Amino acid sequence: MILRSKSLALFAVFSFATAVVAQEDGAPRYQDVEGEEIFGPDYQPQAAPEKGLPLYIGRPNAGISAPDSLLLLPQDSFRPMSGTWSLPNEDLQRQLPSEVPLLRDVRRGFQTWQVPRLNPNRGLPAPPADLGAEMKVHYVYVGQGAGAIIELPCGVAAVDLGGEFGGGSGSVDGGSLFVAYLKAFMEQHPSYSNTIDVVYLSHAHADHINGAKQLATSGIAIDKVVDNGQTSTEGSVGKQTDFRNWATEGDLKHRYSAVELARQVTATGATNAAIDPFSCATVTAFWGGANEKLASPGYSNPNNHSVVLRFDFGQASFLFMGDLETNAAKDMLDQFDENTEVFDADVLQLAHHGAEDGINDSLLKMVSPRIAILSMGDRTSKGPQSGWGHGHPRLDSLSILQDDPVTVGEMRSSPQTFWGYPKEEVPTKEVIINRAIYGTGWEGTIVVTATQSGQYTVATGQGH
C-alpha cells in the first residue's frame, strides 16, 4: 500500500564539497503502512549512469570455486550478447567451462556456450596472510539502524553509515553516533591515516545512510564507494547518489562500483578493486539494485535492493545482509541455486534489525551462523523510527534463532535476560538468550575479533 505523505520531504540537490543539506526528519514522500520509505509513482530509482569498475567473478571461501583463469575476466564476458560481439575468426572464441556456476536467469538466456576471449586486466588473489593475524568488526550502537567498521591489518572499511533519526522520547541521532565512534576509532589507529579504504552502502534508507552528512564534514577521507547503483535526485536514493559523487570526487570510473543484479553473471558473487581493495582479506558482493524487479511484489521497498557483503579473512567469515527481506532472500537463493553454499558464514549480521521479514529459514539454514548480530535500537526510545516504533527485535525472530531446530551454533558463556517486542508500539517482554546472539540495543557496540584460523571472541558494552 502506498500512502501520499503531507510532507514531501524532498532531498535537496547539493554539493557535499560546499554544504550538506540533510533530508528532513519525518515522513518520506511515499511510505508503507509501517512508515518506511518506499518507491512510488514519481519516486523511482534509475540505474547508475556510470557503473564504475567492471564486476569480476567473486571467489569467496565457500561454495564452488571458479578456476583461476576465469578470475581475470569481467563478468560481462559471460553475458549472452550475441548482437554486440564481433568475432572475426574462430581463434577469438573459446568454450565456456562447464564448471562455472551461472545465475539461473543468465544460464537460461544462453543460446551457445561460446563467449569472446578477452585480455585479462585483473590480478589474481593474494596468498593468505599470517594465520595469527586478527580482524575486528565493530557493530556500532546507532539506535535503530546500522553502521559497522571493518578493521583489518591492511585497511579499514565502513558498512552503512546510519542510525535512528526523527523525534520522540529518548530518540537518538544515529548518524552522529556512528561518525563520533568512527572519529574516535581513527584517532586510536593513526596507521590508517584518517582514511576509509571503502564505504559500502547497502541500500538507500535513512537508518543506513543518515551519517553521510556528518561524515562529509568529519575530516575523514574516503577512497572508494560501493552501493547498489540506484540513482535519483530525490529521497534517500538522492542522498546515496550525492554521497557517491562527493566521496569519489567525480572519479566514478576508478573509485566506485555499482552492485546491480543485472550486471552479475556467476553464482559466486562479484568483486573488483572497489568491492575488495584489501590484500589481507577477500570481499564478495551479491544481489544489490534490482530495478528490473520494481514491479514485482515487495520490490517497491528499498530493503529488497540491499547489497549483501561477505568478508573472508583466512578461515573466518562475516556476512552482512543489509535489510534484505524474506521474499528477496528467496529470490536470491533461487538465482544462486547452483551454489547456495556461497552464503555459508560464521558471523551473520541479521537483516532488518530483527524483524520477522528479515528472517528467511532457508537462508538461515544455508548460512548456519556460529554468531548472530542484531543492529537495533534500545527500548528507551519511543520515536516512530525506533525499535519500539517498528517492533524490533521481534520475539518470534529471536525464537527462530535459538529454539529447536537451532540456527545459531555457538552458546553464550552464560544465559542472559534481554527483551523483544511481540509487535510494534507495545511494551517489551523479557526473553532469555542462551545462544551467541548479540544486540546493539541490548549491549551497546559489539566488537567481534577473528583470527585467520577461524577463532572468535566477542566484546560488548562499548559506546552505549
Helix, strand or coil for residue 17?
A: coil
Q: How far apart are CA 280 and CA 458, in angstroms?
A: 21
Residue 88's pLDDT is 41
Phi and psi at 253, nearest 5°, equal -65, -30
Report the predicted TM-score, pTM, of the whole model to 2 decimal places. Answer: 0.90
Helix, strand or coil for residue 328?
A: helix
Residue 79's pLDDT is 72
Residue 46's pLDDT is 96
All cell numbers assigned to 327: 521474499
Residue 384's pLDDT is 87
Phi and psi at 359, nearest 5°, equal -110, 110
Check if the beta carbon of residue 377 is closer than 8 Å to that of residue 177.
no
| Cβ neighbours of residue 178 closer than 8 Å, sequence gap 6 or more | 140, 142, 147, 161, 162, 163, 211, 214
For the chain, residues with pLDDT lower than 50 are 1-26, 82-94, 112-118, 464
Express each pLDDT in 166-216 by its tens digit. 878 888 999 999 999 999 999 999 999 999 999 999 999 999 999 999 999
| Cβ neighbours of residue 250 closer than 8 Å, sequence gap 6 or more | none
- Length of the chain, please? 464
Express each pLDDT in 1-19 by its tens digit. 333 332 323 233 223 332 3
79: left (phi over 0), alpha (psi -120 to 50) or beta: beta
Residue 90's pLDDT is 45
Beta partners for residue 286, in sequence order: 308
State the DSSP string of 68-79.
GGGGGSBGGGGS
Amino acid residing at 88: P
- Output the CA torsion 126→129→131→136 (10° steps): -100
Residue 127's pLDDT is 61
Residue 82's pLDDT is 44
Q: How far apart are CA 435 and CA 432, in angstroms?
A: 9
Domains, in order of start, for the chain: 50-55+135-462 (3.60.15.10)
Residue 33's pLDDT is 83
Check if the beta carbon of residue 243 is closer than 8 Å to that of residue 209.
yes
